[in-house]
Structure 1
Amino acid sequence: MALRRLFSVFIGLILIVAGLASPARAASTTGFQAVDISGDGGVTLKANWIAPAGDGRHPVIVFPSSWGLNDAEYLAQAKILAGKGYVVVSYTPRGWWFSGGTIDTAGPLDMADLSRVLDWTIANTPADATRIGAAGISYGAGISLLGAGADKRIRAVAALSGWSDLVYSLYSGNTRHLQSSGLLQLAAQLVGKPSPELTRMLGDFNGNTNVEQIKAWGRARSASTYLSAINANQPAVLLANGWGDSFFPPNQLTDFFGKLTTPKRLELRPGDHAIAELTGVLGLPNDAWQSLYDWFDHYLAGTDNGIESRPAVHIDPLNADGESYPTWSALAGTTRRYGLGKIRLLDGTGLLGGAVSSGWTKKLPTDKDTVANGGVVLLTNGASAITGQQPSIWLPFVDRGRAGVWAAERPSRAQLIRGVPKVHLELSGAADTGTLVTYLYDLDNLGNAKLITHAPVTWLSRTSSVDVDLFATAYDLPAGHSLTLVVDTVDPLYYDENASGGSVTVTGGSYVDVPLR
């Protein structure tokens, strides 16, 4: 309890200072008021609110706090938004910090709580009940997006670093995500009160038991499950995430975005989970938060700022200037197929490119790691967003006895990769269960290889091939650099289903499809 209180005070002081130091905004405000809001079943939800000073009704933004944080998280942004004319209510979801109840993980109790917060806001603040928005980062984003399907009073949503498919987040590529789930569990144990259900689900996840029950639990907490309700309610939906989000990889959002029939916008930037929004939490200028302002200013405050007429998709590639497109599918104009070729004895590398070939094999041990990996959750891609440099390895250090490596010929002009590269691997001698991890690199003339994207794939019954959708990316491969594929069987980011001492053989007929602009 002392740790919780100390950390809460520390975050609060930092954000208050940041809020006070933020640029002056249009109007004076009421100042912050701490309140207790009665959630579903009488559970106490700790909250704070701030509003423009003076008379009249104002548009509302409700912020559920992130996983592991509390309602002090948004103090700096709440002050800015109140100065722009909004009533802002931030609250700590049940089970976290000093709120009552146990963690519901964006389940039905959290949805009921969100509606109770809206009830309280309408009754106790100068709120305009016809102009309500919900927003947040991570857990707050997920609750807000789900809430738009559960409560039709929510007219606009800004979901920053959130999820639309919790099952994909936990099991993309049919592979359990080890590091991200471990951090979520640690946060819940340190500053939360896990429900018996959450404890059971995490135990089953770590033990790889009762998988279908876990997936059913995840589907009940996925906005994709309630897509028809969201479309029927017609809220304006802003989705913003990082290319390298190791908690909620972006592929799920691109699929969900394409099926939305509401006013909508999708933004993808470099970085890991919640990194793109971080400086904005401190009240500093920030592109993601500026988009949030523009979104709510138009769809809640009625400002004619033209955001509704901008292209619906905006991306900041990993190493290029920002680009806008009318749809996600418009990013790539063509798809180029790179066949995997025979491994050369001289350097242990095969050719990536040309026609799909046959008559070759590459045997991989199932319990041997290499220097090729996806990095460390939050830290690796987070640092990349700050430095502008992708994580890299020296390709000669990739042990060819443990990995397959295929390098393409060096093009005379840059290749603009946009979208979801797909890998098809033909297999021989695979065990009944197994895992492979594939990495796509940018290889320069000195052997330095920058990670463009990667993804794991797991099979749970005997198979002769696997298909891997790599995580969505936008990257300009420079002229004279080689597009390079590495395949191995171990990555610390993920659980694997490989038997110790076994092997799997990749064979001819394998290829990579790369979307190009």
Structure 2
Amino acid sequence: MPIRTRFTTWRPLATAATAALLATAPTTPAAADPGTARESRPVYSYDNAVRESVWVDTGLDGDGDGRRDRVAVDVVRPREPARQGRRIPVVMDASPYYSCCGRGNESQKKTYDADGRVVQMPLYYDNYFVPRGYAFVGVDLAGTNRSDGCVDVGGRSDIQSAKAVVDWLNGRAKAYTTRTGTERAKATWSNGRTGMIGKSWDGTIANGVAATGVEGLETVVPIGAISSWYDYYFAKGAPLYDSGPDWLSHYVNSPDARARCAAVQRELVEGAPRTGDWTPLWTERDYVRAASKVRASVFLVHGMQDLNVRMQHVGQWWDALARHGVERKIWLSQTGHVDPFDFRRAAWVDTLHRWFDHELLGYDNGIDREPMADIERRPDQWVTSPVWPPRGTDAVTLRPAAGDHPGVGTLGLTRSTGTETFTEDPGRGESDWATHIDRPTPDKAGFTTVPLARDLRIAGSSRLTVTVTPTTPTAHLSAVLVDLGPDTIRDYTAPGEGITTLTDRTCWGASTTGDSACFKETRARTADVAHTVVSRGWADLGNHASGLGAPLTPGRACTITLDLAATDHVVPKGHRLALIVAGTDQGLIDPPADTPTLTVDLSRTSAHVPFTGGTAAFARATAGQTAAVPTPTALHGVGEPRTTHRVPEAAR
């Protein structure tokens, strides 16, 4: 993996023009010299804030009605800066969820007064940041809530919905005071500096807009976000859900958009065949390929057990950003698809505050000199890394070998010969395989190290290159890395995906009668486990030769590489690391049309796993150890993963 650069040095933001404004502005914390200020403070009235709506011209006609689409933009901003002749930066969340599904752990929706002005803006961003001298902008993606157009699920319409707003904030796009009127609205109060934030689809839009290189977008904070939409629906051809982007578009489109967006729905069906073939539709929705255009800094947050927007999206995006020297920061939790506001609230609000102060106000608060990564090692126990993955982390080639019993082998550095065979069983998955790792079962081939003599850290993305011979024209593959040993982890398969929502509330910012800054608290929901799944990857074997699926020839060997999701996990001393190769991972990929038996050629199979310390660290951890199997510990564990199709933002 490439070496990760640290943050670039702090960038002074004051031009001659802004310096002149600062010199004449009142000396309040929010107006202080960016070279000396440390923190924006809540000195402005939230109750008296300006609340207004505008409709921004996207330049597109996605619904084909002959008129250019306008997207609705609700703004909450402090009244005082404009009176003082100062322009302010923007925190922006562009979302399809503001009316259909709700935002956050409490599924909040936008509400409006009789004049159409926003009363409740979901989440705490406006409550917290507006009193500190920021504007908050909530954008309804095209086709949702009060916007024209159609949702195209990460495509041109979705991305242009938000990009056009960044352009408007910088004086490059037109906006109007009503959806159909001609009276222009100008963002004379904005200094153009914009930070986009959001969880799931919202964060995905932030990634996509950053990949356009739009001027004025200074930072993005994607939380549980997609980096390439193909990888949301497929893993190298293996289908992850039983429906495609047309279902998702229909789900979030407003009722009137559903009536006028049949053409877009057809394009989504035709462009995303359930064969898993890579098509031009997926190329348009692959932001990783455009990482070279990213100008904004990136503060990425993700749950390492997120089985909705999986960690595959983190590894490829992070690596691409690293290759292009993008300023970046990362938090990795043990949760599933959960916002950091709901698993590390106080630390998150403080860190996000300082991040926006640094990136949008130019305050030299030291956040650029702090560790790049925060990783949750145990529930509510966090460690940091100066860079991520840590320096000295290298991919180590691990080789599976046959053991004394069928399907129960070893994992080490030495190439072996022989084969292992397993038969597709769509009724079993990773929890079954790991639980029975030391027993011959017909549905998997398992390979384990000896108990480790010292801790061994995995940090980054893994991959498995495997040569298999199928007995049928179709076959799916799963590869799973497992930490074998007792631990206490967040219960990511339970409701809440690692958190329990409580009844008491804490407040983060100012409130009004219609918009409270107080939200329900949470605590970690944990489980005692005998093993922990560290990383997963899947593939349709019919994709072994290209990005297009094809029938297999029974009896003919195929070689394919599965990408395993990024992670950061320490396998403790005394535990074992296991590699499992099997067919359908129940609940996580759909089964193939046939029920194949697959024979693995061990001499042509290898896993490439990023260990901190590289090959030497792995050799030290496994040196001088016996192959004795530890006595199993009976623990209640976590449930079998289930990812029945849902919108990326799971409403709770």
So what's the TM-score if we normalise by structure 1? 0.78
Change (3 A) 1:25 1:182: farther
Report the Cα offset of residue 220 of structure 1: 1.4
Q: Does the CA contact (< 8 Å) of 1:135 and 1:158 recur in 2?
A: yes
Report the Cα offset of residue 475 of structure 1: 1.1
Q: How many residues align?
A: 464
C-alpha distance after superposition, 1:28-65 (max 9, x if no partner):
22346252424325535344221123133211122102
Question: Is 2:199 aligned against 1:137?
Answer: yes
User: Which of 67, 77, 80 does residue 125 from structure 2 map onto?
Assistant: 77
Report the Cα offset of residue 414 of structure 1: 1.8
Per the alignment, residue 35 of structure 1 pairs with 53
SS in 2 for 1:472: strand
C-alpha distance after superposition, 1:238-285 (max 9, x if no partner):
232222333243222222222333433333333233x033528xxx93
CA distance in 2, matches of 1:49, 1:436: 48
SS in 1 for 2:599: strand
Change (3 A) 1:292 1:74: farther
Report the Cα offset of residue 286 of structure 1: 4.9
SS in 2 for 1:81: helix
User: Which of 312, 316, 324 does residue 385 from structure 2 map onto?
Assistant: 324
User: Which of 606, 611, 634 does residue 516 from structure 1 map onto?
Assistant: 611
Q: Does the CA contact (< 8 Å) of 1:44 and 1:100 recur in 2?
A: yes
SS in 1 for 2:239: coil
CA distance in 2, matches of 1:497, 1:370: 11
Identity of counterpart residues, as a percentage? Answer: 20
Per the alignment, residue 63 of structure 1 pairs with 93
SS in 2 for 1:297: helix
Per the alignment, residue 559 of structure 2 pairs with 465
User: Which of 153, 156, 159 does residue 108 from structure 1 map onto?
Assistant: 156
CA distance in 2, matches of 1:91, 1:84: 21
SS in 2 for 1:97: coil
Per the alignment, residue 254 of structure 1 pairs with 318
Q: Which moved more, 1:72-81 or 1:183-192?
A: 183-192
Report the Cα offset of residue 109 of structure 1: 2.8
Change (3 A) 1:36 1:208: same
> Which ranges of 4 or more aligned residues in structure 1 deviate by more than 6 Å?
396-399
CA distance in 2, matches of 1:306, 1:438: 41
Question: Is 2:76 aligned against 1:50?
Answer: yes
SS in 2 for 1:217: helix
CA distance in 1, matches of 2:69, 2:245: 26
Per the alignment, residue 595 of structure 2 pairs with 501
User: Which of 219, 229, 236 does residue 283 from structure 2 map onto?
Assistant: 219
Unaligned stretches of 5+ residues in structure 2: 1-40, 59-66, 103-108, 111-120, 172-184, 488-528, 543-549, 613-652
Question: Is 2:423 aligned against 1:365?
Answer: yes
Per the alignment, residue 512 of structure 2 pairs with none
CA distance in 1, matches of 2:286, 2:253: 24
Change (3 A) 1:199 1:147: same
User: Which of 369, 379, 389 does residue 309 from structure 1 map onto?
Assistant: 369
Task: Considering fraction of residues, name the structure with more helix.
Answer: 1
SS in 1 for 2:414: coil
C-alpha distance after superposition, 1:372-412 (max 9, x if no partner):
259xxxxxxxxxxxxxxxxx963369771111122221112
Report the Cα offset of residue 312 of structure 1: 3.8
The letter of the residue matching 1:357 is S
Q: Which moved more, 1:454-463 or 1:293-302?
A: 454-463
CA distance in 1, matches of 2:482, 2:599: 22
Change (3 A) 1:333 1:133: closer
Please list, as runs of the form range in 1=range in 2, the aligned pairs for 1:341-360 lying within 5 A after superposition.
341-345=401-405, 348-359=407-418
CA distance in 1, matches of 2:573, 2:227: 36
Per the alignment, residue 449 of structure 1 pairs with 531
Change (3 A) 1:429 1:187: closer
Report the Cα offset of residue 508 of structure 1: 2.1
Report the Cα offset of residue 178 of structure 1: 1.3
Q: Does the CA contact (< 8 Å) of 2:407 and 2:446 recur in 1?
A: yes
CA distance in 2, matches of 1:65, 1:32: 21
CA distance in 2, matches of 1:513, 1:210: 25
Change (3 A) 1:434 1:189: same
SS in 1 for 2:574: coil
CA distance in 1, matches of 2:423, 2:199: 40
User: Which of 464, 467, 478 does residue 423 from structure 1 map onto?
Assistant: 464
Change (3 A) 1:120 1:432: same
Change (3 A) 1:441 1:226: closer
Change (3 A) 1:260 1:316: farther
Question: Is 2:306 aligned against 1:245?
Answer: yes
CA distance in 1, matches of 2:447, 2:387: 35
Please list, as runs of the form range in 1=range in 2, the aligned pairs for 1:407-418 lying within 5 A after superposition.
407-418=448-459
Question: Is 2:141 aligned against 1:93?
Answer: yes
Q: Which moved more, 1:299-308 or 1:71-80?
A: 71-80
User: Which of 476, 486, 491 does residue 570 from structure 2 map onto?
Assistant: 476
The letter of the residue matching 1:28 is S
Report the Cα offset of residue 159 of structure 1: 2.2
Report the Cα offset of residue 225 of structure 1: 3.5
Report the Cα offset of residue 90 of structure 1: 0.7
User: Which of 109, 117, 133 does residue 165 from structure 2 map onto?
Assistant: 117
CA distance in 1, matches of 2:151, 2:162: 14
Report the Cα offset of residue 182 of structure 1: 6.2
Please list, as runs of the form range in 1=range in 2, the aligned pairs for 1:163-312 lying within 5 A after superposition.
163-178=226-241, 185=247, 188-189=250-251, 192=254, 193=257, 195-196=261-262, 199-200=265-266, 203-204=269-270, 208-209=274-275, 211-213=277-279, 216-230=280-294, 234-246=295-307, 247-248=309-310, 249=312, 250-273=314-337, 275-279=338-342, 285-312=345-372
Per the alignment, residue 14 of structure 2 pairs with none
SS in 2 for 1:64: strand
Report the Cα offset of residue 310 of structure 1: 3.1
CA distance in 1, matches of 2:439, 2:248: 32
Report the Cα offset of residue 88 of structure 1: 0.9
Q: Does the CA contact (< 8 Å) of 1:154 and 1:235 recur in 2?
A: yes
SS in 2 for 1:189: helix
Identify which of structures 1 and 2 has the higher relative contact order when contacts are C-alpha pairs closer than 8 Å and 6+ apart. 2
CA distance in 2, matches of 1:57, 1:354: 60
Unaligned stretches of 5+ residues in structure 1: 1-23, 375-391
CA distance in 2, matches of 1:279, 1:210: 34
Q: Does the CA contact (< 8 Å) of 1:338 and 1:354 recur in 2?
A: yes
The letter of the residue matching 1:362 is E
Per the alignment, residue 8 of structure 1 pairs with none
Report the Cα offset of residue 505 of structure 1: 0.8
CA distance in 2, matches of 1:341, 1:166: 36
C-alpha distance after superposition, 1:464-507 (max 9, x if no partner):
32222211111111221111222221124444563423211112
Quote the RMSD (CA, aligned, Å).
3.4
SS in 2 for 1:109: helix
